[in-house]
Amino acid sequence: MWKILDGQHEQLEHVRTDEAYKAWEQAQRKHGESIHQWINNLKKIKMELEAQDEEVVISRRMYASKLMRGSGLSSRERTSNH
Per-residue pLDDT tens digits for 7-47: 655 668 888 999 999 999 999 999 999 999 999 999 999 99
Q: The pTM is what?
A: 0.78
Give the integer Cα–Cα distance in Å for 35 and 2.
Answer: 46
46 close to 10: Cβ distance less than 8 angstroms:
no
38-57 in b/e form (b: 16+ CB < 10 A) is beebbeebbebbeebeeeee
Residue 20: what pLDDT? 95
| DSSP character at residue 32 | T
Residue 1 has pLDDT above 60, yes or no: no
Greater model confidence, 82 or 54: 54
- pLDDT tens, residue by residue, 57-80: 999 999 999 999 999 988 777 777
Considering only CA atoms, which of 36, 44, 37, 38 is closest in space to residue 20? 44
